[in-house]
Amino acid sequence: MNFLYSYLYDHPYLAIVLVVFTVWMLVDAYSRQAEAYWFWAILIVPLLGGLAYFFCFTIKDFRGFNLPFLQRRESLDDLRYRAEHIPTLANEVALADRLIEQGDFAGALPPLESARKKEPDLGHILYSRALCLSRLGRPAEALPLLDQLLQREPRWSNYRAWHLLIETHQQNKSRSAALDSCRMLVKLAPTLEHKCLLGEFLLQEGQKEEAQRLLQDALRDHQFNPGPIRRCNRRWASAARRLLKRV
């Protein structure tokens, strides 16, 4: 280890590279909510700890070293041509995804409708159609699609469909349905983020006592969570404290 330090002292540019690599691995471990011992390994065992973490976890993101930022991204015209002339499910969904990314929700509906005929119960298609309809101001049409998706896959895409369901109920001026959906989400996945969402709705409905109990219990649980989980939930802990001040 002393040899490594002396070598880095003689080669300051390599020392800078090692520091950057170590910070990268620490940030990556934090984003993945890695076990605490990985943080110690990266910090206490310079280079070797970071390399071990890299080959255990980070390297999987490179997909065989085909770095995404070095690849040419297909243009919208290419995607449209493929969807029209080779109307496979993958081509139609790829076109719809790009149109949604660009905010063209009306344009994304036709390829999604065509894809739906091939795979009527595919979660990604149900969610994307519901998202487009919601953004186009047609929440009443979006809600049945979300209900269908959540009945089949309640935890789909890390509960993303639940968030859209709650938002769509609000858009449809169904505040009681939005609140009920929040309660169901917390029951299904009682995370600090979801409890903050429910607490926000409870305050809007004037149910301050229930909101206070919910948020206080959530912060108490947060206090006794392992360190990595507390760090990941720091944002939501701050949000819960702000909501308590409103109470």
- Residue 142: its pLDDT value, please? 98
CA distance to 49, 58, 127, 133, 138, per residue, from 165 (Å): 43, 33, 10, 12, 13
Residue 30's domain comprises 2-65
Is 30 inside any structural domain?
A: yes
Which pair of structure tokens corresponds to residue 78? Answer: 């290419």
Is 152 inside any structural domain?
A: no
How does residue 7 score in pLDDT terms, banded at 50, 70 and 90? low
Residue pLDDT, tens place only, 167-203: 999 999 999 999 999 999 999 999 999 999 999 999 9
Is 57 inside any structural domain?
A: yes
Please give the DSSP secondary-structure letter assigned to residue 73.
Answer: P
Sign of CA dihedral 101, 191, 166, 244: negative
Range from 26-35, 86-95, 137-146 carrying the lowest mean pLDDT: 26-35
The more confidently predicted of residues 10 and 36 is 36
Q: Is the pLDDT assigned to residue 92 strictly greater than 90?
A: yes
Is 27 inside any structural domain?
A: yes
Is 19 inside any structural domain?
A: yes
Task: Tell me how far apart the alpha carbons of residues 105 and 128 are, in angstroms, rounded to a whole number.
Answer: 9
> CA 171, 177, 178: angle at the middle one, nearest 5?
55
- Residue 1: its pLDDT value, please? 52
Is 155 inside any structural domain?
A: no
- pTM (predicted TM-score): 0.71
Is 9 inside any structural domain?
A: yes
